[in-house]
Amino acid sequence: MKPALHLLVLLVVFGRAAVAGTPTEGTLFYTVNFASRDVKSVSYSFDGLSKFTLGIPQPIAATPGADGILFHPDGELVVAGQADALFKIDLATGVFQTVNAGGTSAFHLSLDPSGKTIWSAGNPGMLAQISVEPFGDAIARFVTGDDTTITAIAFDSNKNAYYTSASSGGFGNFGRIDLSTFTTKRSYRGLASAHGILFDRFSEALILVGARRISQIDPANLNIVSEIDLTGSGLQFDQASADGKGHLFVTDNTGRLFFLDFSGTGLVGAASNFRAIPFLDGNLHGIAPLSGLGSPIPPCSFTCPSDIKVANDPGQCGAVVKYPDLAVVGSCLEIAFEPPSGSFFPAGTTSVLCTASDGAGNIVSCTFNVTVVDGEAPNIVCPAQVTVLKDANCQTVVPQINVSAWDNCTQPEELILTQVPPAGTVTSNDGMLIVIQATDKSGNTAACQTFLTVADKTPPEIGCLRDLTVPNDSGQCSAKVKFVVTATDNCSDAAVTISCDPPSGSEFPIGTTTVTCLATDKAGNRAECKFQVTVVDKEGPIARCEPTTNPAGQTNDANSGNVGDNEGFFQLIALDSCDANPALFVKDTKSDFVAGPFQSMDKIKLTQARGREPIQKKMAGEIVAQVILRGDAAVYAVDASGNKGPESICKLAAGPN
């Protein structure tokens, strides 16, 4: 072995000037299949400019055969033995476990995206399916379709499977394979690079290596987007590995390692890419993946949290939600949630996408739901009291009560308001409790209540009497007057009280008195009316004449039957219920003559002279007048109301014939 050959490769290769690339370093795990049939490792580094350096190979294990190589998910190596054998190697001790390949010859290996199966194939030959856990003997799988033998399998980021079918010299076939039915569909026949195959996470492309050619194929349409043709170089490409950062490592069965930095272009065939082809080890075959499936970096995997269900934050139409920690397996970098943890989630269900990548560029994702349940009741405020009026029928229609209602999620105009009893209800009650309920879109409810006061503001209708005129009661300067005033009300006639001033049955004085009546219903509404009661004095005064002494002190006595003048002295007296001083008159019964007026208690001299002319003479002293009459003296009185009382005859004494 010549260590000096592993130290340096210049920047200029095959006369092409390389552009600056991306630095990288690490360890390659590879196999040689010669006398020793070794499994080895070697360090490498690339400064991104001018140096690609390999370290000194380090032996790991010597197996009975060695070809394809990859990492088991538990970190140990799995090596295909170019026969009916596979080896699982402990890196620390070099001790290996052997299982059979199901009667097939195991050359190239690939790890299924499920992480549960390793696939091996011949050169070309039958497929074999090996369980990852527990690691055990393989099961042979017969392949049908356009090609029935397989050399290598690779998987893209969508877990689609691709195959090559070729001998060690390349120039084979390439296409898709359905690993549920083991059916192939060929896309290319006789493709020079169709031998080894991998999926590069950096360019998201399939890379095929075989013979002296490298092809880059777009998995979306299976078009070849770039190629390297090294015809004349003496190389014999077998298998390849990519680090997911734009660096490709390809084994050559003659012992050289082809290194390609295409991190600056993304195309393997770009002329500006840096290439190096140092010698590594004699009879190189397999090289373990540096990224993706089967690489020493365990694929990133995790399980999303279970769906999260929370209540809304108080007063908010949603909630701030933080996710629980993920249960991560492997090396997961750049774990991202959309929406991020701690975001505000609106009420309802939101899907959360969680994505992560590992150092090899593998992207994994899962989704879970965050449901925010709006469990907050609306807010509703009723007025303390609402007053409406009764109509003429003592009824009212229940109105729609205006309330203030709002909610954390539902717009006020979208809240459903329910009123009990509903608006439009006809009632004759004096009041009632009304309940209004608000319901939001989530079915949450809240209620408030108000008291509906049904007020009677309609006054009763009072039926006043017409003005009354009545005579005075006999012997009274007044009259007791009874009357009936009625009233009706919109709610209850019986509930109306009527009061009059003066009340019915009162004693009304002579003259006109105004009676004021007030009708009051049970609600306190009032109606007033007025009418007049006139008491008319219809009773005449009582008049009489009382004989009195003459000035000489003699009493006049009637002297009936004598011929001649009759005369006498009389005191006139008048009594009236209303008039304290009615006027007194003396009427001649034999003529139209009337003497007077006199006041009550006046004293007069009456003379009956049948042949003389009736006359009233004023006298001096106690006797106010002499009244000479032809006939009898009929005394009567007239009061202030003009009422004339009955006549009373004054008896005169007979004079001489």
pLDDT (tens digit per residue) in 71-84 = 998 899 999 999 99
CB 195 within 8 A of CB 210: yes
Q: What is the pLDDT of residue 12?
A: 36
Confidence of residue 331 (pLDDT cuts 50, 70, 90): low
Residue with the two structure tokens 């856990």: 133
Q: What is the pLDDT of residue 7?
A: 33
Return the higher-pLDDT residue of 521 and 560. Answer: 521
The CA-based diameter of the chain, rounded to the nearest angstrom, is 211
**Phi, psi for 363 (deg, rounded to 5):** -115, 125
Q: What is the pLDDT of residue 133?
A: 93
> Residue 1: pLDDT above 60?
no
**What CA–CA distances, in Å, run from 257 to 53, 215, 289, 295, 593?**
11, 17, 14, 18, 178
Q: What is the pLDDT of residue 555?
A: 54
> Residue 11: pLDDT above 50?
no
Mean pLDDT of 350-375: 85
Taking the alpha carbons of 59, 61, 67, 71 in that order, is the dihedral positive or negative?
Answer: negative
> CB under 8 Å, gap of 24 or more: what pairs does 202-206 form?
202/242, 202/243, 202/244, 202/245, 202/246, 202/263, 202/266, 202/361, 203/246, 203/262, 203/266, 203/267, 203/268, 204/156, 204/157, 206/154, 206/156, 206/162
- pLDDT tens profile 460-493: 999 888 999 999 999 999 999 999 999 999 988 8
Q: What is the pLDDT of residue 260?
A: 97
What CATH number has the domain spanning 301-373? Answer: 2.60.40.10
Domain residue limits, the chain: 9-66+151-287, 301-373, 379-450, 461-536, 542-650
Residue 595: closest CA among 539, 548, 543: 543
Residue 41 tokens, joined: 């490792």
Q: What is the pLDDT of residue 16?
A: 43
Q: Is the peptide bond before 298 cis (omega within 30 degrees of 0)?
A: no
- pLDDT tens profile 612-628: 899 999 998 899 999 99
CB 461 within 8 A of CB 527: yes
Mean pLDDT of 378-392: 94
Q: What is the pLDDT of residue 553?
A: 65
3-state SS, residue 592: coil
Confidence of residue 495 (pLDDT cuts 50, 70, 90): confident
Burial class (CB in 10 A: 0-12, 13-18, 19+), 584: buried
Write out the DSSP string of 506-568: EEEESEEEEEEEEEE-TT--EEEEEEEEEEE---PPEEEEEE-B-TTSPBP---TT-SS-EEE
CB 623 within 8 A of CB 605: yes
> Residue 59: pLDDT above 70?
yes
Residue 239: closest CA among 269, 214, 201, 209: 209
Confidence of residue 36 (pLDDT cuts 50, 70, 90): low
- pLDDT tens profile 422-470: 999 999 898 999 999 999 999 999 999 999 999 999 999 998 889 999 9
Residue with the two structure tokens 């009373």: 648
Return the higher-pLDDT residue of 650 and 9. Answer: 650
Q: What is the pLDDT of residue 240?
A: 97
Residue 375 tokens, joined: 């469990």
Return the higher-pLDDT residue of 611 and 143. Answer: 143
- pLDDT tens profile 545-601: 999 988 766 555 443 333 456 889 999 999 999 999 999 999 999 999 999 999 999
Mean pLDDT of 143-158: 96
H/E stretch holding 257 reads strand 257-261
Residue 646: other Cβ atoms inside 10 A: 13
Q: What is the pLDDT of residue 361?
A: 55
Burial class (CB in 10 A: 0-12, 13-18, 19+), 648: middle
Confidence of residue 37 (pLDDT cuts 50, 70, 90): confident
Q: How far apart are CA 165 and CA 631, in angstroms?
A: 179
Q: How far apart are CA 197 and CA 164, in angstroms?
A: 7
Q: Do domains 301-373 and 461-536 have the same CATH topology?
A: yes
Q: How far apart are CA 458 and CA 488, in angstroms?
A: 11
What is the chain's mean pLDDT, rounded? 90
Q: What is the pLDDT of residue 559?
A: 39
What fold does the segment set 461-536 form as a domain? Immunoglobulin-like (2.60.40)
Confidence of residue 323 (pLDDT cuts 50, 70, 90): very high
Confidence of residue 655 (pLDDT cuts 50, 70, 90): low
**What CA–CA distances, in Å, run from 237 to 169, 195, 279, 281, 590?**
8, 8, 13, 14, 183
Q: How far apart are CA 467 and CA 159, in angstroms?
A: 114
Burial class (CB in 10 A: 0-12, 13-18, 19+), 3: exposed
What is the arrangement of strands in the sheet containing 497-501, beginning at the earlier edge strand? 468-471, 526-536, 511-520, 497-501
- pLDDT tens profile 256-278: 999 999 999 999 999 999 999 99
CB 398 within 8 A of CB 422: yes
Q: What is the pLDDT of residue 653?
A: 67
Count of residues in the chain: 657
Residue 209: closest CA among 172, 255, 155: 172
Q: What is the pLDDT of residue 620?
A: 85
